[in-house]
A and B are shown apart, each in its own frame.
Chain A
Amino acid sequence: MSVLVIAEHDNSSLKSATLNVIAAAQQIGGDITVLIAGKDCSGAAEEAAKAQGVSKVLKADADVYGHQLGENLAALVVELGKDYAAILTSAGTTGKDFMPRVAALLDVAQISDIIRVEAADTFVRPIYAGNAIATVKTSDAIKVITVRPTGFDPVSGEGGSAAIEDCSVVKDAGVSSFVREELAKSDRPDLSGAQIVVSGGRGMQNGENFEMLYKLADKLGAAVGASRAAVDAGFVPNDMQVGQTGKIVAPQLYIAVGISGAIQHLAGMSESKVIVAINKDEEAPIFQVADYGLVADLFEAVPQLESAV
């Protein structure tokens, strides 16, 4: 039995979520092959080869994979994946895009967003925005799975020495092409992997006021997130949304500022180790999950906090 892990990467380096996916793959058992599909992706392949627990790295380096188009990635993975017992990737937007195609083309179900492996065919995953935790068993021969990275402690990214094999399969589905991208540029840590996250909600009132949170975050070495309301209102871009339908985070410390604590928001941060809420409404539901609640006007509390840390 062996497991194929499709790496998340930006060609030059591996996204840390891949290390969590490898950890999930280890729990399923068997040899682990990591596929790096991209363009000029040697950097990412070399990093994958150093990760613990990896037997082999397959590098599919071609123009058609350069922008991670789901149609082309899926066609490649279907071709390579037939001989594996399980195919795993992280439940980021890339994995969510191509993996269900893989499942459909292999005529198997996909199990989305697993947080635990119970057995090689039995997995645990949150449903209903995390209000219920389901243990599910699949009858399919090939298990196609997306992994929620926060559910698994990552393997070490150092010390491994897997061989890198070139994979020459070039699959162009011919139905989609890349036009352009606008990627967020930030010197702050990546939201999904940050140790501390400071998030702002509708209470921030506008985009300019988020400066307060950026300043606080920079002092703490934190990433900055937001509620859906703050994104919808245009205060901050979509990639900052934390929640059921945004990013899932589980930092050591999550500071929610001017966020009421809707169930859809909690779905994205309730696994954080310590939660702090700053809200002027003492009835706000966020206080029901906060370890430390401060009932205060954020416009006074945040600058004070910034100077105190």
Chain B
Amino acid sequence: MKVLVAVKRVIDYNVKVRVKSDHSGVDLANVKMAMNPFCEIAIEEAVRLKEKGVATEVVVVSIGPKACQEQIRTALALGADRGIHVETDEEIQSLAAAKLLKAIVEKEEPKLIILGKQSIDTDNNQTGQMLAALCGYGQGTFASEVKVEGDKVEVTREIDGGLVTVSLSLPAVVTTDLRLNEPRYASLPNIMKAKKKPLEVMSPADLGAEVAPRISVVKVEPPAQRSAGVKVASVAELVDKLKNEAKVL
């Protein structure tokens, strides 16, 4: 069974984000970039399926500028077999990413497609569901457990009320939540080996998908700042303040 994993290059989750002074966006110049954390979980799951003998090949795809190849190489070092880079310097919104991924699904015909549930930059939480819809596939979103059984996959999902388990016909799309697994680190020998793994580069035009943005940014502003309040010396003082000053008790 072939597994396709989509990974996105985003700002590192530890970086303190700064809004540009002209309010046109977030300042990404000289900022540390990394693989979206949910995509690391997606790669880990695919690699574990391969280690269990369920998956035969893990193909990783990333859409974006040249530098995305760093994240593809990371995925290859973590155990993916082969990379596809859809190279573009244009902004790719979730619907466009889903259309490009659909074109790749048609070429590669994977049985399982794993994405992160959410990019930590746009916080969209859309691409996996859109891809599943465009392909007519079932979707196991916000997965905390994935079990492939024959021509089905059983996915346990983290939902607001607890957990729900669904059964999907393969091919299917899964999006990862935090508890699905704990991603490994790439070892030095594997990082070296990854440099020799195949990486195919193509353009959105090669895939024939329409990728023009539908949403334009009017402005981006910093959030209203909360200022630090006061330190209280005791529980008694805290309760007094909550009752008589804040009036929330």
Contacts and interface: CB of A to CB of B under 8 A. Distances in A.
Given A178-B166, A184-B161, A110 B94 contact: yes
Contacts of B238: 276, 292, 294, 305
B95 A103 contact: yes
Contacts of A291: 229-230, 246
A143 to B, nearest CB: 10
B193 interface: no
A204 B209 CA distance: 50
Interface residues of B, number: 79
Contacts of A105: 133-134
B159 interface: yes
Interface stretch (A27-35, A90-98, A206-214): A90-98
Name the residue among A112, A118, A196, A238 with the largest chain B CB count within 10 angstroms.
A238
Contacts, number: 262
Nearest to A180: B165
B218 interface: yes
Interface string A95-126: 01111111111011111110000100010001
B133 A228 contact: no
Given A93-B160, A178-B166, A287-B231, A128 B154 contact: no
Interface stretch (A36-44, A57-65, A67-75, A80-88): A67-75
A295 interface: yes
B108 interface: no
Interface in A133-149: 133-140
Classify the secondary structure of B's interface with A: mixed
A223 B249 CA distance: 14
A160 interface: no
A128 B121 contact: yes
Contact of B249 (A69, A109, A134, A309): A309
B235 A181 contact: no
Interface residues of A, number: 91
Interface string A220-241: 1000000010011000011100
Interface of B: 11, 13, 16-17, 19, 26, 38, 93-95, 98, 117-118, 120-134, 136-139, 141-142, 144, 154, 157-169, 172, 177-179, 214-223, 226, 228-232, 234-236, 238-239, 241-242, 246, 248-249
Given A103-B130, A179-B154, A293-B231, 8 more contacts: A93-B157, A109-B214, A134-B220, A136-B215, A192-B160, A231-B178, A294-B235, A304-B235
22 contacts: A94-B159, A100-B133, A104-B95, A108-B95, A127-B26, A131-B223, A132-B17, A133-B220, A134-B217, A134-B219, A137-B216, A139-B216, A175-B172, A176-B167, A179-B165, A239-B160, A239-B161, A245-B118, A252-B248, A253-B242, A273-B246, A294-B234
The list of the 3 closest CB pairs from A to B, nearest first, reads A175-B138, A100-B129, A291-B229
